[in-house]
Amino acid sequence: MKSILENFGIDPFMKQRNNQQDHALQKRSIGKSDSKLPTKPQFSGIIYLDYAATTPVDPEVIDSMVSAMECDWANVGSPHELGMLTKQRVEDALSEIAAHFNLQRDEIIITSGATESINHALKGVLMAQKKREIITTTIEHKATVNTVQALMKQGYRAKFIAPNAERTITAEMVESAITEETALISLIWVNNETGDKLPVEEIAQVARQYKIPIHIDATQAAPHFQFDATQFDLVSLSAHKCYGPKGIGLLYRRAFPKLPMKPLIDGSGGQMALRAGTMMNESIVGFAKALNLIAQRWEDERHRLVRLESLLLKQLLPYGVEVNSASPLAEREPGVLNLYIPHVHADALMALIPKVAIAKGSACNSDSSLPSYVLTEMGYSHRRALSSIRVSVGRFTTEEEVLTAGNYLSEAIAFLQSIALGESAAWYGEYNLYDSDVSSILTPELVAESCEDYQENKIPAEPLLVIDEPHYQLALYGSVDALEVDDGKILKLQDITAKVYGAPFYLALFNELVKTLRESALTPNLSLETLLGRRIPAQYLRDSLQIEKALRNFANESL
């Protein structure tokens, strides 16, 4: 056989190719000074505490991917030698990925990410059988919630299980929802907003008893610990949460007994006739490397993340901060910390600390006017959900960064709580809060004007006016005088100060309102835009009309 290969010139080519791969790897291991690649992720001066949204690609993963791009770039479906050699390397990486989860190579499908994996798992399984009911929970990621809602529009039925009084889901709750029409159970393992873990292994045993396939969204579990996927029927996850590249994910489908499934993407080529498309060689190699690093480090890393969380909590507890989580009996995976901060709107807090990357919740829920549905489904109030942030630490987070971030957070929290508690009579900064955007704000220097100038640092017991909505609050304090003028009466406010809560826009609006009311009078037919001398943006018009109506009613009642 060797002589035949030599006659065709293939054996020498294989040797040459292996030498090229070795040379590519050697170039990256000569020394840090000789490498063009960074030795650690670059954070542009930002303290990154948003690992639950995405993780930086590990330099070792980048190194493996660059090597694959140089040497293993051929189409694995090509019948020529270069294609076959590339296919072998890619298949080796796929086998490594499968082995990480105690699976066989033919049990995994490479996808574009967890969202595609979840779509394929739910739609593919339901469409391959006659039963038309799915069981899931109200605290799933949007990828699951929206997929189930799409299936419902096609005539499928869904049972959404809400957390119990302990803010969790139990095996008994899932079992009680099962009917003869249940085709699939889909659950998130580690919640992406709170870090809470559902007892999916116990629930999987219940599913097996009823011969119902169970799908697990392990997107937030995979970066934190290694697990045996064979205890489930379907598993979805993404590489970018595991210090790997974006645009690649995994779907495990039980091979024996084979779980019926319809393809989601049609086209040429494909994986077990279930997913068409050209394989992304370098991403697969990078994915395999990322999982290999997790296997080596996850146990030690878990202890380190616990310490980092403890350091941060120690700094923030004096401000009344509480952890949003299920009961102490439930497990929570370290690394994802959801914190409630009394009297502080999450948007306002993030606006004041642009050099610290934190989140309000899932990166997929960007509407700042709405609270996290995960927190409200767990039984927390609308206001508490809006006053909560997610801090997620990871592999490259240092103790120094956590301590520094804790200092930034402490100062910003103290400032916002002083406004909410009426300890500051005015607040302003070097940027326009009306137009503030978390992603574009430069480092602001805020100055609080003490209430001593107005109330001798004492807020009256009873407010003149209270406007209390879940997403904003204004309480006006002071005294009033009704004055006669030529065309009627006006209301003059004296020694005005306020307690205020809300996102940056509302803080700016109420700050300007307080300052204006110290100089101007209230009339029963006032216009908020005229009073402030500015137009209100359309997205805030409804709230501004409500505020305007409250001010008019107050003026009418006081005159």
Annotated catalytic residues are: 364
Give, as one character, the DSSP assignment of residue 233. Answer: S
- 207, 185 Cβ separation under 8 angstroms: yes
Which residues 6+ apart lie within 8 Å of 193 measured at CB? 52, 336, 338, 361, 362, 372, 374, 375, 390
Determine the longest span between alpha carbons in the chain, in angstroms.
112
Cα 297 to chain centroid distance, Å, stands at 23
Q: For tokens 């080519």, name the residue.
A: 13
C-alpha neighbours within 13 Å on the C-beta side of residue 269: 10
Query: If residue 159 lies in a helix (H) or strand (E), which one and from where to where?
Result: strand 157-161
Q: Coil, helix or strand for 458?
A: coil
Give residue for tokens 């999987």: 204
DSSP state of 326: S
**Where does residue 142 rank: exposed (0-12), middle (13-18), buried (19+ CB within 10 A)?**
middle
Burial class (CB in 10 A: 0-12, 13-18, 19+), 62: buried
| 285 Cβ contact partners less than 8 Å away, ≥ 6 residues apart | 64, 65, 67, 68, 72, 89, 90, 93
The pair of structure tokens assigned to 217 is: 């969204």
Say which residue the tokens 């029927």 belong to. 233
CB-based contact 137:161 (threshold 8 Å): yes
Contact of 315 with 409, CB cutoff 8 Å: yes
Residue 395 to residue 544: CA distance in whole angstroms: 45
Tokens of 358: 């934190």
| 287, 248 Cβ separation under 8 angstroms | yes
